[in-house]
Amino acid sequence: MSSLAPEAHIATIQWISNEYFGLNGTHYDTLEAPPSPLEFGRICRISRPVLIKGHRIPGVDRWTDEYLQHVMGDRSVSVALTPNGYADAVTPGPDGRLYFAEPAVEQMSMGCLLSKLACDARVSAKLSEVLYLQSQNGNLYSSSYFDSTEDELPELAPLRQDVPPDISWCTEALDRHPDAVNLWVGNDLSVTSIHSDPYENIYHVVRGCKVFTLLPPSEGWCLRERLYPHAKYARPHPGAPLVVQPTPGADPIRWSSILHPDHDDTLPAVAHPITITVRAGESMYLPAGWWHHVRQEGGITIALNWWYDVEMQGMTWTWLSLLRGPEDVPSGNTEADEENL
Amino acid sequence: MSSLAPEAHIATIQWISNEYFGLNGTHYDTLEAPPSPLEFGRICRISRPVLIKGHRIPGVDRWTDEYLQHVMGDRSVSVALTPNGYADAVTPGPDGRLYFAEPAVEQMSMGCLLSKLACDARVSAKLSEVLYLQSQNGNLYSSSYFDSTEDELPELAPLRQDVPPDISWCTEALDRHPDAVNLWVGNDLSVTSIHSDPYENIYHVVRGCKVFTLLPPSEGWCLRERLYPHAKYARPHPGAPLVVQPTPGADPIRWSSILHPDHDDTLPAVAHPITITVRAGESMYLPAGWWHHVRQEGGITIALNWWYDVEMQGMTWTWLSLLRGPEDVPSGNTEADEENL
């Protein structure tokens, strides 16, 4: 489809941003008990984040380190490694340019992961690489499970016995199964840089605590998205430290140039971030298209999430497309942006 | 709030219009039975019209002319009168300019209304004024009923015994009572010109049939809204024909200059009207902000509607405000527009 003139497009988004903030402010609801499907349907219609207490997942109550090691045994799980905790984030490369760098991925047992995470949390980050189980590919349940075409079990399948494939009140409200269910295991050193997903998302924190910095879709224009060449962390030889390795021929990645939206002074004054802390036993509804930066507190943090496809009928997709802004964004490798990082 | 530059604003709406149509087409669902509250919540989230069969309102099954006359007795009801069936529509005034003309309103008994409507349907429109009970002020239930501050009963209160104050699946889905419930009584000669309301709307046809020509909020820009001076039909002296009487000092009214969006050739090619015929016993969900032109078929047509306030949290209001277009619209009294009518 044809694109809008960038200036008109940005002016429109700024107008929407102002109107939307005027009506909604930074309010979010906190529920003391999980919603009924009917209530959750209303919540989805409003499409603002909600902190949900009291949604129990009995199976995960037994998730001590020993239990997780025992259930997973020697199976290897894919773990993201970075020197600084920023996986899928903007990072300087070997040539001094900025890259969108994916983490290195190494295989290890759950026991090894948990012991390294416990160690990392005690010693200085400088001494160790940062590990984060964040494979987010439906590592517990993927769409093939739901449409009964699963021919290979995901890495974390042994933990399915403790995690339901869906959240009943969400499934009923949206009239669809999840597209993916993921486990996330990290510590205070791992950070997820700000981005948005085209999914309705239910997070549930099992252990530790997650601190979300959120912006509505209407304020994505404040995130100064730029184009970055693609790279991936790699270990040149066994035992060597990780280095950023540019990916030849890869398409550039559009990503926010703001690394720390959770710091007061890095967002423009017209952005109105919402901070929601989700503690062990609590859940959060993160609506489709909402921007989120996630950090963790309290040592080893274990969380689950259920992604549901966004509704494609009606206005939502058009609304989110409009708010994504012009297709052409500037290169991130300019002097101004390097100063910003 | 500050307004957008009109050119940028219109370009954005045209882009949205194209994207929205690409995703949604002119599809509408038909339900063979009323939705559950949960299902209706999903329908509202999609915000597209739905034809709903099988929603029975047992009380209205007894609504013969005789019954209605008997229940209403000699009470007077407010009836809109026009020479041409166009109440609240753009009409030439005595000076040849175009006006937004409200109907004259006269009081009569239900028996008188029904007999005149039956007669009108048989003889030529030229011989008689067109009558339409369309007071749409909560003539059955208004908000004061729901918040228990009602100190005066509406004109049609005797018919409450047959009409429930709300539609349970809608009330539960939206978690609110209606803002107004109205009865509409007219015949094939009455037309409602195209407009939109900030309400979620459930129509139910009791007798006859209503033909809706609908446009989504994204296509309102195709309706060539113009500013018209305000007028009202009046009868200069008893027995005289109705004349358009300009209203001195009234604010001009913004209204579509397209009188016949139900005719193939009056809308621009980029508009994609949807025609939905609602027959006796059928209901229709008309989402907030959808443009609708309504005509009637089958002699005396009796219908009910329940208006529910639109959700003010979230994106809907901002979306509808954006799609309403620039605040400044041209005057309707230009040569080009006169030719158009």
Q: Is B112 helix (H, G, I), strand (E, B) or coil?
A: helix
Q: Name which of B1, B3, B41 is nearest A42 (Cβ-Cβ).
A: B41
Contacts of B184 (CB under 8 A, 6+ apart): B132, B133, B134, B136, B301, B302, B303, B304, B305
Whether the CB-CB separation of A171 and A202 falls below 8 Å is answered with: no
User: Above 0.90 for ipTM, yes or no?
Assistant: yes
Q: Is the pLDDT of residue A341 over 50?
A: no
Report the sign of the C-alpha dihedral through residues B265, B267, B269, B273, in that order. negative
* Neighbour-count burial of A57, counting CB atoms closer than 10 A to its CB (0-12 exposed, 13-18 middle, 19+ buried): middle
For residue A279, how far is the Cα from the chain centroid? 16
The pLDDT, as a whole number, for residue A334 is 81
Confidence of residue A8 (pLDDT cuts 50, 70, 90): confident
Asked if B45 lies within 8 A of A311 by C-beta distance, the reply is yes
CB contact under 8 A, B173 and A42: yes
Candidates A7, A19, A312; nearest CB to B321: A19
Ramachandran quadrant class, A168 (left: phi over 0; alpha: psi -120 to 50; beta: rest): alpha
- The pLDDT value recorded for residue B1 is 47
Query: Tokens 């407010």 appear where?
Result: B78
Burial group, residue B43, by CB count within 10 angstroms (0-12, 13-18, 19+): buried
How much is the mean pLDDT over chain A?
94
To the nearest whole angstrom, how far is the Cα of B11 from the nearest Cα of chain A? Answer: 7
**A143 vs B336, residue with greater confidence:** A143
Q: Model's pTM, two decimal places?
A: 0.94
Q: Average pLDDT of A96-119?
A: 95
How far is the C-alpha of B95 from the C-alpha of B317, rounded, in Å? 39
Residues of chain B with pLDDT under 70: 1-2, 120-127, 335-341
Given B3, B20, B38, which is nearest A37 (Cβ)? B38
User: Hey, what long-range contacts does A25-34 have (CB within 8 A, 24 or more apart)?
Assistant: A25/A272, A26/A272, A26/A273, A26/A274, A28/A274, A28/A276, A34/A169, A34/A283
Q: What is the pLDDT of residues A190-205, one digit of tens each?
A: 999 999 999 999 999 9
CB–CB of B151/B47 below 8 Å? no
Residue the block writes with tokens 């300087």 = A92
Tell me the shortest Cα–Cα distance from B32 to chain A, in angstroms: 18
Which helix (DSSP H) or strand (DSSP E) does residue A41 occupy? helix A37-46
Best of B27, B308, B315 to substitute, by most chain A Cβ atoms within 10 angstroms, is B315
Instruction: Provide the pLDDT for residue B3.
Output: 78
Q: Which residue of B has its CA nearest to A316?
A: B46
CB spacing of A22 vs B1 below 8 angstroms: yes
* Residue B331: DSSP 8-state: B
Mean pLDDT, residues A16-31: 97
CB pair distance less than 8 Å for A42 and B174: yes
Give the three-state DSSP class for B284. Answer: strand
The 10s digit of each residue's pLDDT in A221-259 is: 999 999 999 999 999 998 899 999 999 999 999 999 999
Nearest to B5 among A11, A18, A20 (CB): A11
Q: Flag if B322 and A16 touch (Cβ within 8 Å).
A: yes
pLDDT in tens, A158-184: 999 999 999 999 999 999 999 999 999
Residue A311: which of B50, B47, B241, B7 has the closest Cα? B47
* Min distance B303 CA to chain A CA atoms (Å): 27
Structure-block tokens of residue B60? 């209205």
Q: Which residue(s) pair with B227 in the sheet?
A: B254, B331
What pLDDT is recorded for position B239?
86
